[in-house]
Chain A
Amino acid sequence: MTTPDRARRRRFEQVALPHLDAAYSLARWLTRNDQDAEDVVQEAFVRALRFIDGFHGSEGRAWLLAIVRNTCFSWMEKNRPAHMQPFDDDTLEIPAQLAAGPESSAERAANATALHRAIAALPLALREALVLRELEELSYREIARIAEVPIGTVMSRLSRARALLARFLARGAQLGEETRK
């Protein structure tokens, strides 16, 4: 006999658990910190378990990522308000961490490559769009639903994210050259 708890557990195991890596990866890119990402994902899974009865679609990953994203934003508003500042692409300062210069092998192992630093330096809303598109390979429609913005906004955020990333990478390479001199 199937008890409600058992049915929920099974459904959760089918819908949400397989996407734990995707959930953690998104939280890690948004929070930029291992411990914060773990806290956010755990809280997101508590919410997902609570909402699982209301989920009837087939896109478990997009559903879960929307919960992770919302949990992440409210968690950061509370605990990391400085990371939630609004921004303006044109006046945005090139972040100092881009100038880290030549990398030691330990830094490379810790995912601190120039590209990692440049993506991590993107403003939150742009970073979110870029990670959902390039790493999770979601469609504009799915990203729009997760970020709760119109598709046109997804399009412009992606375009800005990629242009800014190119600028960061060019600037980072230049700063690296200067440090090496």
Chain B
Amino acid sequence: MNCRESELQLDAYHDGELDLSGSLALEEHLAACPACSQRYAARRLQSSRIRIEAPRYAAPAALRRRIEEMLPEENPIKRKIRWRWAIPAAAAAAVLVSLAVLLPRPADDEALAGEVVAAHTRAMMNGRLLEVASSDQHAVKPWFSTRVDFAPPVKDYAAEGFGLAGGRVDHLDKRRVAALAYKVRGHMIDVFIWPLASVGERAPAAMTQRGFNIVRFDRGRMAYWLVSDLNADELGRFARLLQEQK
């Protein structure tokens, strides 16, 4: 590989979009060419500068209100039942009910992941992500002591790039759970925590629902569910930090 080819592929490599053989060839060239490896270092520096100094803009509250107002009414005042459809609809409903009995239920994790995303987006939209807003773990932890019947581990990870923003009480899987909010650049991360009936250690597992990344794991009698629109790699890194906390 020459410098011209290397320059063309440097960005794709940096973005993790180059295939394996391309990556290996480029790495070989970078190891041998100081000019290209310097160019690569400058690219990485510039990217991290953009991510830190040029955060995403947040939508103004007035815009959010206008958009919510234009949605169809939640409860239409009066709507005539369309009898023409009533009988076929009832028949279809009966078929669906019988199917529902026969079909296997979705895996529990998947259903719970749906609840986790719903809880997260509901809190984001209502602007009640932070019932207690503080980056001080010693302020957030006692706040929970009067609101849930367990003590969620609360720790700030600002030094690692995951700053504590606060917390709230939410409901998941028919119980009250602690929700901690962390902020990374423009992205919010919700960490839901609740006690398990038995001691269980489950390694982190990642999934995606409706454009949100999710990671769950169990650690020392607590279930942890992380959800965010942050990229999956960084969310996974954060999950490992939480899992390894003292």
Complex contact B73–A5 (CB within 8 A): yes
Interface residues of B in 126-143 (CB under 8 A from A): none
Category for how many chain A residues contact B: 35 or more
CA distance A46 to B72 in the complex (A): 11
CA distance A14 to B120 in the complex (A): 11
Which among B10, B15, B75 is the interface contact of A140 at CB below 8 angstroms?
Answer: B15
Closest-CB distance, A167 to chain B (whole angstroms): 11
Which among B53, B58, B60, B67 is the interface contact of A45 at CB below 8 angstroms?
Answer: B67
CB of B105 within 8 Å of the partner chain = no
Given A5-B72, A58-B209, A60-B210, A19 and B50 touching (CB < 8 A)?
no
Which residues of A have CB within 8 Å of B11?
155, 158-159, 162
Closest-CB distance, B203 to chain A (whole angstroms): 24
Which among A9, A21, A169 is the interface contact of B186 at CB below 8 angstroms?
Answer: A21
Question: Which one of B39-47, B150-158, B166-174 contacts A?
Answer: B39-47
Complex contact A18–B125 (CB within 8 A): yes
CB of B84 within 8 Å of the partner chain = no
Which residues of B have CB within 8 Å of A96?
none
Complex contact B70–A25 (CB within 8 A): no
Question: Which one of A72-80, A81-89, A113-121 contacts B?
Answer: A113-121
Interface residues of B in 30-45 (CB under 8 A from A): 42-43
Q: Give me 12 A-to-B residue pairs in the complex whose CB atoms sit less than 8 angstroms apart, sorted by A's number.
A: A3-B76, A5-B72, A6-B72, A15-B210, A17-B121, A24-B59, A42-B66, A60-B211, A116-B54, A158-B15, A159-B8, A165-B46
Q: Which residues of B contact A (CB under 8 A)?
A: 7-8, 10-12, 15, 17, 42-43, 46-47, 49-51, 53-60, 62-64, 66-68, 70-76, 79, 118, 120-121, 124-125, 185-186, 208-212, 229-231
